[in-house]
Structure 1
């Protein structure tokens, strides 16, 4: 067994591309080996800014000889077909064999493939891997770049190291021949470095000031950056993305602490952190009180003789220039009120069919006020005055929630939209509730984002997302397949999280109708509701709620109250996980199958519509009369029921009103308990009673009893939707 090393060296590989490149290199290598019948052992893939490296362990010295067969045309086929088959498989006619295939002689080619040296396999695989490499962006270079067929790489490819143990695997790709020579650190090493063998690779590069293992560099940056901050009495603000990026920018990382002018701390801390991170790839620090400190940690790529003093000073000057720009934006933006900034939103088109951002803001403000004044979003106090105040704050916050989009700061840092609006609102003395709503109205943005709970913020955030979702559905811009250009799925999930986390008791249809400013639900409203239900299934699946349980509840839950639906679904799933639930489902399905065979499919809905009316006087249908005949069985039946039959009638008489009362009170656990009382009676009924009795009156009445049982279950949940 042998180990193989492949290093592909080039100019700087962007840090953001390195993780994908490592995965692609391993994938392509495995594919080439599998095609040749080679099974490598462990594979390690590393990257630095200037190289991709792969080490594959336990490769065989040669592939095994194999014999392959190919089926050809039948005997008597045209010569042209037979000759073509021979050429395709590299054999002559004399080498073909005739075999019987379903009574007809058919030509077969037996192709013997001798074993090959793995070094030869690797020599062919390396150019194939390089040419097939799927860089997100790549380039051609040199004289060969005049042809579109020339080699493409992320940056000009300058070296290929290919070793099988200590022997060079000779190949050539794009004019670059393989060998054992590489280069070390750009500044700490000069000239070529010889890699004696695969086992020496990492150690040889380390001597040349290159840590080839990206994970080792990440650990070093993570630990040393925290240490230099701690040594100064500070705490590093953790940023794993920045750790990975700095590791992708350096081969010999050296974290260094620097300071900037305290006067810059007047700028919001998020601005400082974003400016340092985005523009300079610096970490920031906090003091013992948890406030942003006037310190940063940069990651140098060299170990300098002065301990990094010159590097820190240079980075401090660059950061100072960035922070000066940020402070200028902060001061300029505050010279104009948010209300005046908001007037500029008339110049920005939200969507050609939905108007400007100013138009959207007006819609959101009206909807936010409705949510607040109607008591959907609760004020901290329940007085009429509190509702009016909440509505006014929600309206004001919504009217200014997008104003920061036209500020200089958000123009420079779009990631700060909302956040800067909150700072500007607070700076000009707006109520904290309004400033907080402006700051947080985009939340929740993603699955892990916090859900607002402050009433004004909830009203504005919910209104904003509802307006987006309903608006785009109204102009038929719905998500299709994997395409969702307006992030409507995210908006729907945000709506659901706001409703559920804040326990907002409101009809989904009322929300849609008011967001559409129509006051009623139409076909598009039904489409939006269905879309929200599908998103609810996705969300609840993450909470381990089965989709069929949601379907079973939605069928009977007509109010469109999301909180009620989720509570009812959770109670149903808990019930179905019990023995009573499992057995009741089996009894339900048996009853439903009998009724379906007898043509009683829609009886449950008819029972539900009839309610408590007296069908004996108002309904001529014998099936409907049979369903209700069991009520007051001693006087309602024309025959004496069997004991098991009477027991089921009595159980239904007790369970139906109990379940109805519990559902109205939203005590869904009690409703399930009422259903559980039917489990033993329905089991006994099937054991002791003949449904399809010879007497017509008994058969019809007993079918009616099963229909009544099914209707009682359906009043709690549609068990036909439950799997299992």
Structure 2
């Protein structure tokens, strides 16, 4: 079957757009082909800086013929209906229709419409210009004399030519005849802009790719990446260095060249006094070059590797020298920024945060830093961190945001904080926390293990989460502008990978109260708010935070001291409102953590319904224990005892749900042993008492496997009960007692999980 070759040749396409553009071209063409009944065998798209190319092979030579029956009016229908039928079906007269007999509804006309398929090349001539004109570039432009005319072509960069050929590999292909804004499709392209600029006539994909390569164009982006990486490694190894690999940079550079040539340059060794990450960021951002390191020390060398788009006659000496000049200037700037930053201590930058708003409802960055400092101090003992170090790290962790270096390279935030903290003599753990408190930022990012870093990282993420929940601004659908999902997953990874025992509700509830106090300060009496904060045990924390935001309102009350206040102004209504609001917000946030934990565990192969079953129990806010309980529950349900007990528990729950709805009451009371009429009832009651006691004890010592084993002891008694006992007995008292016994099964299994949440 015939193949299609399509090339759209233009000025340079931005590297960041190329991969998606190639995918869009493949998708748009193949979807149109399928929609037209032309089911193809395979397709592959390519991109270089100056072209998008597509090959689709195994396309049928023509569309299949279509046959359709269209029902018409009844025989004897009014002439207007008949004429409308003839016009819609294209029939000349009713003689061309057939009559369908229907004894019940009456006879009616049927039009048999046959539509012969079009040659595939004609279909392509119709669809390809539409695709070119509607191509979804993120940004596009007009150019030339026709740019001002209606319907002028818009493309990412000026489009110069189109190649479109179609045919089988044993014959000369045909050109797909179409025109887009004066650009006619043909079979002529061009090679490398400088090394092979002449026209090239191509027939089909195989000779197209080969002729381009001969004309110094590597069509396949992956092949260009492989060449760049291999040549860069070879250059580095030749001088006993090691390439510092960078996949993102490799992807970008491969989109900047059609004929990659690796060259090595150097810069003054004096610049190595700058942190290596700064050197790398400078060279990467400004010149798209790779850096190399000494394999013996892992420290950067004063060398870099650039990727040229030409085989220069001088071996690349002029190109290398030009890059060296630019890099020297950029590194001089970076060194100036670094040296200038070192002259100002991190803490001396903090007052400027008073003028920077974090969020209109959550205060300034200065207020947020105070919260993080306080929060880190509270979390520190829970994770084994030094409180004073956690406070110091919490105070300094955001300070590098106001440095020249981070202003130039935002991706270095945190890292520069570490370097500046070390330079001014801060404790190693404090300096590490300045960098690591942002981590982990994604599923592959490392998790901090230093206790001070853990405390500040948790404080930073939980402050953000609690704050946005307190003001009721949560992620909706795919929108998450403040990366709250990532923050929650970061908390989960910090907890699990460091085996931390934390009760989230205990930690986040006081912080949620701080946000509520902060919001109430806009409209409430200061004394009342401070008195309420005093009752909550938060006065000493809330006062410095709210005073930073509401200095004018506080006025003479700035020296308020809960220890010397003679009379506490109580407001029971406001206190109840606070507790209800905080409980609601914290409950919602805990549910959000449950959802994120399900995502995390699902990625690891766990069942999300088991997380629901554990979270449904009261007081489940210890993430580490939840995961261990889920693991034990999964192992239990994989056994025959677990499967059968689950079936029995669900049967009991279903009967209870039906009967409780019917009676309008819950059967949660203690059964009356004197009403047990059968041995199976007595055996089940005894088994429940025994299993509940053993499971409760096992859960108390956090031995969830033992708790599951205790639950397994219920299985024989549950099976026997349902086999021998009729729950809905005729005698009302007996029926009620047996339903209460089923309620005991439900209550007993809740020692380990809510079995009603588990899917069969």
Fold conserved (TM > 0.5)?
yes
Q: 1:652 and 2:660 equivalent?
A: no
Do 2:392 and 2:430's aligned partners in 1 also have CA atoms closer than 8 Å?
Answer: yes
Shift of 1:50: 0.6
Shift of 1:18: 0.9
Alpha-carbon distance in 2 for matches of 1:168, 1:485:
49
Shift of 1:204: 1.3
Alpha-carbon distance in 2 for matches of 1:137, 1:191:
29
Which residue pairs with 1:340 in the alignment?
348
Alignment of 1:191-210 (within 5 A): 191-210=198-217
Which residue pairs with 2:322 in the alignment?
314
Which residue pairs with 1:371 in the alignment?
379
- SS of 1:143's partner is coil
Alpha-carbon distance in 2 for matches of 1:251, 1:472:
48
**Structure 1 stretches of 5 or more lacking a match?**
380-389, 608-623, 631-636
Shift of 1:125: 2.2
- SS of 1:326's partner is helix
Give the aligned length.
Answer: 687
**Structure 1 residues 438, 100: CA separation in 2 closer, same or farther (over 3 Å shift)?**
farther
Shift of 1:528: 1.7
Alpha-carbon distance in 2 for matches of 1:82, 1:403:
83
Alpha-carbon distance in 1 for matches of 2:422, 2:88:
78
Alpha-carbon distance in 2 for matches of 1:233, 1:78:
94
Alpha-carbon distance in 1 for matches of 2:339, 2:84:
80
Q: 1:187 and 2:223 equivalent?
A: no
**Structure 1 residues 443, 197: CA separation in 2 closer, same or farther (over 3 Å shift)?**
closer
Shift of 1:685: 2.5
Alpha-carbon distance in 1 for matches of 2:201, 2:49:
20
**Structure 1 residues 144, 99: CA separation in 2 closer, same or farther (over 3 Å shift)?**
farther
Which residue pairs with 2:713 in the alignment?
677
Alpha-carbon distance in 2 for matches of 1:694, 1:476:
53
- SS of 1:583's partner is helix
Which residue pairs with 1:615 in the alignment?
none
Q: Deviations over 1:283-328 (max 9, x none)?
A: 1111122111111110001111222122111111111111111111
- SS of 2:154's partner is coil
Alpha-carbon distance in 2 for matches of 1:77, 1:533:
66
Shift of 1:364: 0.8
**Structure 1 residues 502, 196: CA separation in 2 closer, same or farther (over 3 Å shift)?**
closer
Q: 1:428 and 2:424 equivalent?
A: yes
1:504 is aligned, of 477, 494, 500, to: 500
Shift of 1:552: 1.5
Alpha-carbon distance in 1 for matches of 2:683, 2:100:
74
TM-score by length of 1: 0.90
Which residue pairs with 1:634 in the alignment?
none
Alpha-carbon distance in 1 for matches of 2:72, 2:501:
71
Deviates most, 345-354 or 536-545? 536-545
**Structure 1 residues 566, 150: CA separation in 2 closer, same or farther (over 3 Å shift)?**
same
- SS of 1:684's partner is helix
2:117 is aligned, of 86, 94, 115, to: 115
- SS of 1:703's partner is helix
1:571 is aligned, of 627, 632, 648, to: 632
Q: 1:529 and 2:594 equivalent?
A: no
Alpha-carbon distance in 2 for matches of 1:604, 1:259:
82
Which residue pairs with 1:7 in the alignment?
7
Shift of 1:715: 2.4
Shift of 1:544: 2.2
**Structure 2 stretches of 5 or more lacking a match?**
515-535, 537-578
Alpha-carbon distance in 1 for matches of 2:36, 2:652:
60
Shift of 1:598: 3.7
2:388 is aligned, of 376, 392, 396, to: 392
Which residue pairs with 2:759 in the alignment?
723
Do 1:181 and 1:195's aligned partners in 2 also have CA atoms closer than 8 Å?
Answer: yes
Q: Deviations over 1:601-627 (max 9, x none)?
A: 9999985xxxxxxxxxxxxxxxx35x2
Do 1:605 and 1:711's aligned partners in 2 also have CA atoms closer than 8 Å?
Answer: no
Alpha-carbon distance in 2 for matches of 1:342, 1:76:
91
Which residue pairs with 1:446 in the alignment?
442
2:334 is aligned, of 300, 322, 326, to: 326
Deviates most, 416-425 or 584-593? 584-593
Deviates most, 80-89 or 173-182? 80-89
**Structure 1 residues 306, 601: CA separation in 2 closer, same or farther (over 3 Å shift)?**
farther
Do 1:221 and 1:254's aligned partners in 2 also have CA atoms closer than 8 Å?
Answer: yes
- SS of 2:147's partner is helix
TM-score by length of 2: 0.86
